[in-house]
A and B are shown apart, each in its own frame.
Chain A
Amino acid sequence: MMKKFLFSFKKNPELYIGLIISAFMVLLIVLGVMFSPYDPDAMDASAKFADPSINHIMGCDNFGRDLFTRLSTGGATTLLVAFFTVLIGVTFGIIVGALTGYYGGAVDEIMMRFNDAVLAFPSILLALVFISVFGSGTWKVIVSLGIVFVPSFARIVRGEFKRCKNLDYVRSARLMGASDIRIMFVHILPNTIPVLLSSTVIGFNNAVLAEASMSFLGIGVQPPQSSLGRMLSDAQAFLFSEPSYAVITGVTIALIVLGFSLLGDGLKKNA
């Protein structure tokens, strides 16, 4: 058992290290949100920039708010935004990719030209277009980023469907009289999961970064809701006097990104 584990660890260390780091970060965030005795927004003038102690394990920020509690609620916001963003991206990506990949033809050509045009935009710039149209706020950020993520997933799914649609098992399903919808979603889709899974994790990672950048710029999640990007931008103002505030917040973002990017790489290797 141990030997077998060590063997697969050596073959794909990214997968395991990524899994450990991302699970640890998610666990920490969930624990903080569920069990922290502090209100993330409760200010305490006497605890302004308090050092780490038994009461405040990571210290306090400029308003005397408990940093650990704020990081976990902020982290939860960031993770949820990323989750829903990827959910939108994957769902619509699968629909568009499956239809264009399976049927091909003129619709495919037009959709892919359009896809290329969208992919030509750097994702944050495209999200900024939507934000300036919709306005900022948590759900608007999710919808904006979600739309931005559709083309990349659509492209991956389309490629897989194009590859699979003439394989033997699809042909025999067709001979047995299965409908197109059934072939697409019952027969082909499950076979794309290994590829789709790793790109979903990588997409999740990009969504975390995009949300953090947008909140950092002040056009993403709006206060009083805390978000890691927003906290880092607040912390930058106190960089000289209280560098630990910025460092702890930044390291939290970096660890989430590191964990999920290793996990994505590992899954890709396994696929």
Chain B
Amino acid sequence: MKTVLKKIATFVITVLLVTLFVFIAFELIPGDAATYRLGINATPESLERLREELGLTRPFFVRYFSWLGDFFFGDMGTSISYGVSVRSMLASKLPITLTLTLMSFVLVVALSIPIGVITSKYEDRPLSKAVDVLGQLTMSIPPFFLGILITYLFGMILHMFTPGGFVSYDVNFIRFMGYLFFPAVAIALPKAAMSTKLLKTSILSERKLDYVRTAYSRGNSTMDVLYKHVLKNALIPVITFLGMTLADIVAGSLVIEQVFSIPGYGRLLISSISNRDYPVVQAIIAIIAMIVIFINLLVDIMYQVLDPRMRGN
């Protein structure tokens, strides 16, 4: 319990540091909200007045904490390009990016654990070696290129989906999920290959340990030893990896959204960077960073629960 509290404290500090960093980064950009609103022809007096009104003349940390407070209560400012609240822009896109991320993550787990277990069981068979080579190749394909290949093969040749024909979740949920499946595969495959490789190495090194021999000598069957003892221990490093992967998947979806023209956070982020729409950029980056830090916290806590050896320190 004490360690969990310590982890939560670290989590809070990290959130503060990361949001502070994001805040400082966007403070460094020349020009402030007042200059954006009044344009280049504004007089210094009117600029000064607006700054006073917007609270831009307050000390740095006061501004930071008021930004952070507003952010947590859902006030993320107003988009410069569209003039609407950032919150309303982000709220409708959240389910899209979230679904894509979760779907990719489920695919990674669903592919890598069975494949890792089976290939480590038949380690010396040619098929297992072939899976290794295939995995190494998959890992080297950049996700956006994999996305393009999938678009070509499944979209243009096999007509299993219409490239660019994204359907929103509030129009037709089934077709929405169907469209997101292929981008999710593009994100998941390289990660699944890495996770498979890790699980296999982990199982193989775990199998050499003394307790496995003891289990065999007590007359347990191979399947029993593999599933009841080895897998449980071998999964620990894989879970750490999967936690890190979830963070990577969030970042990876930013790029894949561009390949498959999915109107989620990624596309909005890229177009906002190009349009210099900083309130939107700042909000998206802060949200994604917080999601990532939160995932890391969950992984850390899960690690403690799964591995009693970790609880001591």
Contacts and interface: CB of A to CB of B under 8 A. Distances in A.
A129 B274 contact: no
B188 to A, nearest CB: 16
Contacts of A117: 14, 17-18, 21
Contact of B292 (A120, A217, A254): A120
Contacts of A235: 148
Contact of B26 (A120, A133, A212, A219): A133
B151 A239 contact: yes
A131 interface: yes
Interface residues of A, number: 41
A128 B145 contact: no
B248 interface: yes
Contacts, number: 115
B145 A114 contact: no
A240 interface: yes
Interface stretch (B76-84, B88-96, B119-127, B134-142): B134-142
Given A117-B14, A122-B250, A129-B25, A254 B274 contact: no
A251 B212 CA distance: 43
A212 to B, nearest CB: 6
Contact of A250 (B18, B22, B145, B293): B145
B289 interface: yes
Nearest to A205: B140
Contact of A131 (B18, B148, B273): B273
A27 B41 CA distance: 54
A250 B255 contact: no
B238 to A, nearest CB: 18
Interface stretch (A42-50, A58-66, A149-157, A257-265): A257-265
B156 A125 contact: no
A51 interface: no
Interface residues of B, number: 46
A28 interface: no
A240 B156 contact: yes
Contact of A257 (B25, B140, B152): B140
B35 interface: no
A128 B144 contact: no
A262 B136 contact: yes
B32 to A, nearest CB: 14
A268 to B, nearest CB: 13
Contacts of B156: 239-240
A113 interface: yes
Contacts of A239: 148, 151-152, 156, 163
A213 B140 contact: no
Interface centre among A120, A250, A257 (most CB of B within 10 A): A120
A129 B284 CA distance: 10
A254 B189 CA distance: 14
23 contacts: A120-B14, A120-B247, A121-B292, A122-B250, A122-B292, A124-B251, A124-B255, A125-B254, A130-B25, A133-B26, A133-B29, A217-B270, A218-B274, A219-B274, A232-B145, A239-B156, A250-B142, A250-B145, A253-B145, A257-B141, A258-B137, A261-B139, A261-B140
Interface of B: 10, 13-14, 17-18, 21-22, 25-26, 28-29, 136-137, 139-142, 144-145, 148-149, 151-152, 156, 163, 247-248, 250-251, 254-255, 258-259, 269-270, 273-274, 276, 278, 281, 285, 288-289, 292-293, 296
Which 7 residue pairs of A and B lie closest in terms of their CB atoms, listed nearest first? A122-B251, A258-B140, A250-B145, A117-B17, A257-B140, A132-B273, A254-B141
